[in-house]
Amino acid sequence: MYYKFSGFTQSLIGTSAPGAYNPQGFRPPVVSDAPALVFGTPVKYASESGSASEFLGKNRVPDLQRLFQTSDGLPVHLKRGVPDRLLYRTTMALTVGGALYCLVALYMATQPRNKK
């Protein structure tokens, strides 16, 4: 047996199969024509451009691959020298400082306040 929700009695009532699959008078939509494609614009690939003048920079990927793939014992995040060391040390200092600040704030939060 099939059931559907009755808006009049606010309860479930028995119905036929088509009534259960199309409740409250809704009917399946009639498809008229396909909607326009959202991403239907043609794509221009880099290989189709024909000229290299659109990219004005030098391809640095081979140089960076050579730099990062050398086995000199340094971790990857320190391979580029002074700027990487500066960023790494700043990050570590902020991390340690933040952890200490959290511990001090936790200690202060656990202390009772003096009532005057």
Residue 76 has φ and ψ, to the nearest 5°, of -60, -35
pLDDT of residue 90 exceeding 60, the answer is yes
- pLDDT tens-place string over residues 41-79: 666 666 665 555 556 788 889 999 999 999 999 898 889
Instruction: Write down the mean pLDDT value for the chain.
Output: 81
What is the Cα–Cα distance from 93 to 113, expressed in whole angstroms?
A: 31
Which DSSP string do the residues of 66-84 spell out, in sequence order? Answer: HHHT--SS--GGGTT-HHH
Q: Lowest-pLDDT range, 2-11, 63-72, 102-111?
A: 2-11
